Every structure is written in structure tokens, then in C-alpha cells.
């Protein structure tokens, strides 16, 4: 800790040695080991995976509890606040690049790879291939070798449109909660935060029902050619991010109920809000590029 302080708050808080990083690494080791063995038909891998996840979650709980305690005890100065803001900004930037890679894969497949495969240069290799998107006709477009089962594509109506309305509404309720916190209306803030969490949970339930419909009625799977793989990679990873964002908002709401955060100091709230709005924007891109085009 710096010896230069302002009142009771250190100029820049430096935590002491911590066991949490090495303990988290041990948990992740068992997660990777177990997952790798499980997908290779070693049943003990499932138990190693479950053990690693439980261990890792336990470490995260203790780690976050310590960080919250440091914040609530007044250890975090303006310098720490700036550090967290920069960290969250770079984290969201990395997520932009993450989704940008998948959007680029979709664009490249549709505008470059597909026309190239359907050109005269490849007519001898795949004489029956036709460069049509989505690749729905097995044996003609998506699978000249007949290895992709016939499937149907999915449009924007109605489940994706309902989910769009849910996410946009959650962005509104979250913004109302933020303004309520800044105005020191804690009860109103908590009500709208719970509403935002519920909207996130409903979104995940609707997406789960959509996946069930796609698998059972449309036969659209991850193995359904380029269309199926890009569809499920984009929507699946987005759903994972919605789940993570919902957990962030849930824990922020629980902290609000405990009296944490003030109108002047609440970056934990703001960081979760930044992430949630990012998830909203990604979904709008998905809704247009995947479901409409």
C-alpha cells in the first residue's frame, strides 16, 4: 500500500499476497482435464469436471467477497476506480473482437467461400454443388457427399423477435435503475434491477425453447453444414454471455439490497450495465444478420 494517503483512503491500494490465483488455477486444471477425458468417453472425466467447477466457483466466491470487502471498507480510491474502468473497457473490447471473429466467419462464408466453391474452378471436384445460401438442400448445395441431413432454416418470427423485445426492454429497465441509483432512490433501483434480471432469465428460456424447436422439428443442428455451425456458434455464445450478464446483474441486485453502492460510487453497477448493453448490441447484429439475411 502506498504511504501517500488522502484521509483514510490509500492513494493506490495494493492487496497483500493472495491464495486465490493459484487456487483458481487448480480448479481450472480439473475443469480442462475432466472435460477432455469426458469427451473421449472416460466417464471419470465428468466427475473431474464437476469437481473442478465446484472448486473454481468456490474460489471465485471467496475472491469476490474479499474484493467487495476491500471496496466497502474504503480501500478503493479514485485511482482504483479508474483502473477498474479501464479493465472493464478492455475486457469488453476483447469481447467485441471475439464476436467480430464469428461475424467475419459468417460474412466470409457467404461472400467468398461459397461463391468460390460454386465457381468453375471447383466444378470438377463438386459438379452438383450450387452456391446458394442457406445451404439447405442436402446432396445439392450444402452436402454434395450426402453427409449433411436435410434441415430447415429459421426466420425472425416469432421467437427471435420476442427475444429482441425482451433484451431491448431489459436495457430500458437497467437504465431506469441506474438513474434511480444516481438519484438515491434505492427501492426503485432494486425493483427495476429485479425486472431486468427476470427479463434476462425469460430470454434464456425462450432461446432454450427455440433450440428445442430447431433440433426436434427443423432438424437444424450444429452439424447442419456451414449454416448450422455459424448459427449455433453465434447464438450459442451470445446466450452464454446473456447468462453471464444476468448473473452479474443478479449479484449487483443482491448487493444493492445489502446497502452497497452510493449515488457517487457504484462502478460495480456501471460495469455490469456496460456489459449488458454490449450484449444487447450484439443481439441486434445477430437478429439482423442471422435471422433476416
Give the tens place of pLDDT for each residue, 83-135.
999 999 999 999 999 999 999 999 998 888 888 877 777 777 777 777 777 76
50-82 pLDDT, tens digit per residue, is 999 999 999 999 999 998 898 888 888 888 889
User: For residue 32, is pLDDT > 80?
Assistant: yes
- What CA–CA distance (Å, rounded) separates 264 from 272? 16
Terminal alpha carbon distance of the chain: 55
Question: What pLDDT sits at residue 2?
Answer: 35
Question: What pLDDT sits at residue 151?
Answer: 82
Write the Ramachandran bin of 274: left for phi over 0, alpha for psi from -120 to 50, otherwise beta.
alpha
Q: What are phi and psi of 155, to 5 degrees?
A: -105, -175
**DSSP annotation string for 72-123:** HTT---HHHHHHHHHHHHHHHHHHHHHHHHHHHHHHHIIIIIHHHHTSGGGT
Q: Which residues contact 192 (CB under 8 A, 6 or more apart)?
A: 173, 174, 176, 177, 180
210-269 pLDDT, tens digit per residue, is 999 999 998 888 888 888 889 999 999 999 999 999 999 999 999 999 999 999 889 999
Model pTM above 0.95: no
Pick 293 or 165 by higher pLDDT.
165
Question: What pLDDT sits at residue 137?
Answer: 56
Question: What pLDDT sits at residue 78?
Answer: 85
288 forms bridges with which residues in the sheet? none
Amino acid at each position: 500500500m502506498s504511504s501517500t494517503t488522502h484521509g483514510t483512503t490509500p492513494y493506490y491500494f495494493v492487496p497483500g499476497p493472495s491464495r486465490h490465483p493459484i487456487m483458481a488455477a487448480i480448479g481450472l486444471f480439473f475443469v480442462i482435464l475432466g472435460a477432455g477425458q469426458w469427451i473421449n468417453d472416460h466417464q471419470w472425466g465428468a466427475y473431474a469436471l464437476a469437481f473442478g467447477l465446484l472448486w473454481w466457483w468456490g474460489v471465485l466466491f471467496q475472491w469476490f467477497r474479499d474484493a467487495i470487502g476491500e471496496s466497502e471498507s474504503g480501500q478503493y480510491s479514485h485511482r482504483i476506480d479508474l483502473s477498474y474502468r479501464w479493465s472493464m473497457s478492455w475486457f469488453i473490447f476483447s469481447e467485441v473482437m471475439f464476436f467480430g471473429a464469428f461475424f467475419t466467419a459468417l460474412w466470409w462464408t457467404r461472400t467468398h467461400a461459397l461463391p468460390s466453391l460454386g465457381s468453375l474452378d471447383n466444378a470438377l471436384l463438386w459438379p452438383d454443388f450450387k452456391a446458394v445460401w442457406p445451404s439447405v438442400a442436402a446432396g445439392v448445395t450444402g452436402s454434395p457427399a450426402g453427409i449433411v441431413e436435410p434441415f430447415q432454416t429459421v426466420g425472425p418470427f416469432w421467437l427471435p423477435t420476442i427475444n429482441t423485445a425482451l433484451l431491448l426492454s431489459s436495457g430500458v429497465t437497467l437504465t431506469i435503475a441506474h438513474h434511480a441509483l444516481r438519484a438515491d432512490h434505492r427501492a426503485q433501483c432494486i425493483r427495476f434491477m429485479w425486472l431486468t434480471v427476470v427479463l434476462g432469465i425469460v430470454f434464456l428460456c425462450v432461446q432454450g425453447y427455440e433450440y428445442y424447436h430447431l433440433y426436434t422439428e427443423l432438424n437444424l443442428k450444429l452439424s447442419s453444414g456451414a449454416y448450422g455451425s455459424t448459427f449455433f456458434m453465434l447464438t450459442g455464445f451470445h446466450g452464454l454471455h446473456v447468462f453471464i450478464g444476468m448473473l452479474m446483474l443478479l449479484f449487483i441486485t443482491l448487493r444493492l439490497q445489502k446497502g452497497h453502492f452510493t449515488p457517487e460510487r457504484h462502478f460495480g453497477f456501471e460495469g455490469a450495465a456496460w456489459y449488458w448493453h454490449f450484449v444487447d448490441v450484439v443481439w441486434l447484429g445477430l437478429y439482423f444478420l442471422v435471422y433476416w439475411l
